[in-house]
Chain A
Amino acid sequence: MGKILIVRLARLIATLFAVSLLTFLLVEQLPGDPVIALLGPEGLYDWDTVERIREELKLNDPTLVRYGRWVGDVLQGDLGKSYITDQPVADAIRDRVPVTLELALLATVIAAVCAVPIGAFSAYREGGRLDRLLSGFTTAALSIPGFVAAIFFIWLFTLKFNWFPSTGWNRITDKGLWANLKTAILPASALALAPLAVNARLIRADMIGTLKEDYVLSARAKGLKSRYILMRHALRPSALTAVTVFGLQLGGLIGGTVVIETIFALPGLGTRLISAIYQRDVLMIQGITLFVATVYVVVNTAVDLLYLALDPRIRRQ
């Protein structure tokens, strides 16, 4: 067990190195310059100032030297400062992360809570009317892009029913949970749609196999109710694939809320990352990417450990 953890940890660190280096090199390839972004169009006529600022920010050093310096700083716990706003990158992340994290978690919860019964009952009624109806729903949910769903939700729930606001964000700390959820529910639902459909299908497929197992028949022969058999006997053996994908989805959601955050004008990591990219704000891009990648890798490692909880047979090895 200890050995497994060490190997996992080494792999995790290697992944983060690779991600940060690739991001650094990619941003380097982009046309444009952070100093021009900082000074605006006038910068083009004032090369002395541009040169001075470049020198101050040490932008003239070779790429790998700058990457090495950044890595050194990060290892000492310093993510650096934004070239543009002078705000420490760590502060920016701390400021934006609650929004993104809440959206991602809420979306994951919505996806899981809906996917389990949809998957289970369509498997139980395989080929029946309910199954076909739910299959139609999941196909639709998969084929509609998130931003289209978002626009549909805004039309339905804001313009028609006026239940939820279409833009903006209420912080829990400022306005309380209910006001916060009101602003979070639409974007989270739009985000949840695709993972929901994928998970429901995975659970359905695995569950159809599980329901043919002898132990399900023997559970029936014990006189247990169908719902109990589905949830207590068939779900766990059918959840392994869905759990794997679930980890990938949660990681993906944390980095992938950009479009939805933009549509709903939410102050999350995604919108911050976009503006950093527009401004060639290298350290901000690096910081946010590193953060997202870390969360992604950690979540997936945690999911691997979750298998042990799901299937006692793996625990022995």
Chain B
Amino acid sequence: MTETTTPPRSEPLLTVDNLSTHFTIGAGRLRAVDGVSFSLQPGQTMGIVGESGCGKTVLSRTIMRLNLGNNIHTSGHVNFLGKDLLNLPMSEMTDIWGQEVAMVFQDPMTSLNPVVKIGRQVHEHVRKHLGASKTEATELAIELLKSVRIPEAETAIDAYPHELSGGMRQRVSIAIALACSPKLLFADEPTTALDVTVQHQILNLLGMQQQERSMAMVLVTHDLGVVAGRTDEILVMYAGKIVEQAKTAGIFHRTSHPYTEALLRSIPKTDQPSHTRLAAIAGRPPTLITTPKGCSFSPRCPYAQQRCFEEEPPLTESDQGHLTACWYQVGTAENREAWETNLASGRLATLAVAEGQIVDETAVKLTSGDS
């Protein structure tokens, strides 16, 4: 647990290359993840952001090979610690799970076994992976529970999950994930099921443990606010594809993709007066069975032009290390022009955004006039 500063350009810990996960279901093929590539350096944090159903959970589970079922087709490559994860025999996979790569699940109410004591859930895989004796493992479990700030860890190991609060349970899940000191941790919406105050504590705890252990982390969330100060890099996913990928600061300060912009717009702000309507993104995400020709965000995009409905934009580097898949990137002259055209022609998605902005501006004027 020494604090090592990772050299800036080392071998990546995880490389994902052109990864696709398709489900065959009655109506056809559901492209949950479609051609995703990225890499992660040791000790770094990657945020994966997107709406529900955009494929972010399937992506992390595919990388971990936790998709259960036989109607799944995966293609592409996942390289982790020099191993080709997708083609590894299951017997070797069980040695990697829990030991090299671990996962914290979304809902601590369901991800802990209700009929197994906390202690055993924390240390059973330690005994399997590290061959620890029962007493050693129990001591380790207590130590782990203490490190995730669970009060009275000595008695907590004999408790059942239902005897703990949601936040405490998520701490237990984190302790379980950290037990064998993995090199990579997937946190799949780790705070979605928790109260806002507890969310903050859990995220801080994750960040702290990550730094202490110099562990890499993939933080999956639908909330850009969650990843804001906690990640090195962010992937924005839409309809199973990466639409924007950049350093965290780049995503927030030089937003290039209209979808990312819309996500940022939809975060409620505290300086808005009460009863301001939330800025939602008009329309719904496409069903991934029949992805539209062209850009999959085009039906909901305020800037969409004819080209967007016909040709799919490739993921190109718009800035140093900043990748975006859009023909009319936010902040460009083409984008401004597309906006004016759509406003003039009365495109609904465009009008909705414009209306929101007008409401915003008048509201701000009203409040400043009052004070």
Which A residues have a C-beta under 8 Å from some C-beta of B? 213-215, 217-225, 228, 232-233, 236-237, 310-313
Contacts and interface: CB of A to CB of B under 8 A. Distances in A.
B173 interface: yes
Given A218-B103, A222-B124, A311 B114 contact: yes
Given A213-B110, A215-B110, A237 B97 contact: no
Interface of B: 64, 66, 68, 93-99, 102-103, 105, 107, 110-116, 124-125, 128-129, 160, 162, 173, 176
Contacts of B99: 223
Contact of B173 (A213, A218, A313): A218
Contact of B114 (A217, A220, A237): A237
Given A213-B110, A218-B111, A223-B99, A233 B94 contact: no
Per CB-CB distance, the 5 closest pairs between chain A and chain B, nearest first, are A223-B98, A223-B97, A222-B98, A222-B125, A214-B110
Nearest to B68: A217
Contact of A223 (B68, B107, B112, B125): B125
Nearest to A127: B70
Contacts of A221: 64, 66, 97-98, 102-103, 105
A217 B107 CA distance: 12
A315 to B, nearest CB: 9
A215 B114 contact: yes
Is chain A's binding surface mostly helix, strand, loop or mixed?
Answer: helix
Contact of B176 (A222, A237, A310, A312): A222
Nearest to A217: B66
A233 B347 CA distance: 54
27 contacts: A214-B107, A215-B110, A215-B114, A217-B68, A218-B105, A221-B64, A221-B102, A221-B105, A222-B97, A222-B124, A223-B96, A223-B99, A223-B129, A224-B98, A224-B125, A232-B116, A232-B124, A233-B116, A237-B113, A237-B115, A310-B115, A311-B114, A312-B115, A312-B162, A313-B114, A313-B115, A313-B160
Contacts of B115: 236-237, 310-313
Given A214-B105, A224-B125, A225-B94, A219 B113 contact: yes
A200 to B, nearest CB: 21
Given A312-B115, A313-B114, 10 more contacts: A214-B107, A215-B111, A215-B112, A218-B173, A218-B176, A221-B97, A223-B96, A223-B98, A225-B94, A237-B113
Contacts of A232: 116, 124
Contact of B113 (A223, A225, A228, A233): A233
B111 to A, nearest CB: 4
A243 to B, nearest CB: 13
A312 B117 CA distance: 9
Given A215-B113, A232-B116, A311-B115, A220 B125 contact: no
Contacts of B111: 214-215, 217-218
A251 B38 CA distance: 62
Contacts of A223: 93-99, 125, 128-129
Contacts of B112: 215, 218
Nearest to B109: A214
Interface centre among A218, A224, A232, A312 (most CB of B within 10 A): A218
A207 to B, nearest CB: 14
Contacts of B176: 218, 222
A228 B120 CA distance: 13
